[in-house]
Amino acid sequence: MSTGAPRPLTADATSVPAAPRTTAPPAERSRPAPPWQGQWPVIGAVALGGGIGAAARYGAGLLWPTAPGTFPVTTLLINIVGCALMGVLMALITERGTPHHLLRPFLGTGVLGGFTTFSTYAVDIEHLLTTGRAGLALAYLAATLLGALAAAWAALAGTRRVLTRRGREGRPA
């Protein structure tokens, strides 16, 4: 009769139970997925969109250059406009059904991610601080953060309102 207590080890017993014997089929060779499957289309959409957005940002910087040591208006406007466009995009994507699976990576991450430039924003702040313009750096810091958040929220809310109103009136939205 078993008492449930562990059996004492004997000379031929081990503390590790033996693994069950199974015959597993030989491992199949895994083949890489074709380039048109998996993440490659998403990577391509982001890369293409990023190039377009970065070129647009560069063009804006050429059209409206900011003198060194002054308030970086161009970068501020680029970031605010980019965040507003992101709000519009998110409203359209969430309110208009299911878009193509590459639309958001292309436009959101790619075009708008390449267009907005929060790294330049950080460099601008650092440059203003090191040149003794702490007040201007603080104003730029606050204006960009508040402006970008307000622009994204207002564009999202405004676009949703327009889409809802058009939907109620029976017009194609």
pLDDT (tens digit per residue) in 59-92: 999 999 998 889 999 999 999 999 999 999 999 9
**Pick from 124, 105, 127: nearest CA to 61:** 124
Q: What pLDDT, on the 0 to 100 scale, is given for residue 26?
A: 55
CA 95 to chain centre: 20
Q: pLDDT class for 29, splitting at 50, 70, 90?
A: low
* DSSP secondary structure of 57-89: HHHHHHHS---TTS--HHHHHHHHHHHHHHHHH
Angle between helices 73-95 and 40-63 (to 10 degrees): 140
Q: What pLDDT, on the 0 to 100 scale, is given for residue 157?
A: 97
Non-local (6+) Cβ contacts of 28 within 8 A are: none
Q: pLDDT class for 35, splitting at 50, 70, 90?
A: low
Q: What pLDDT, on the 0 to 100 scale, is given for residue 4?
A: 54
Residue 143 has pLDDT above 70, yes or no: yes
Q: What pLDDT, on the 0 to 100 scale, is given for residue 71?
A: 93
Q: What pLDDT, on the 0 to 100 scale, is given for residue 90?
A: 94
How many CA atoms, within 13 angstroms, populate the side-chain half-sphere of residue 71? Answer: 12
Token readout for 142 is 């606050």
Report the range of poorest mean pLDDT among 40-54, 89-103, 111-125: 89-103
148, exposed or middle or buried, with CB in 10 Å at 0-12, 13-18, 19+?
buried
> Which amino acid belongs to residue 3?
T
In whole angstroms, what is the distance from residue 149 CA to residue 143 CA?
Answer: 10
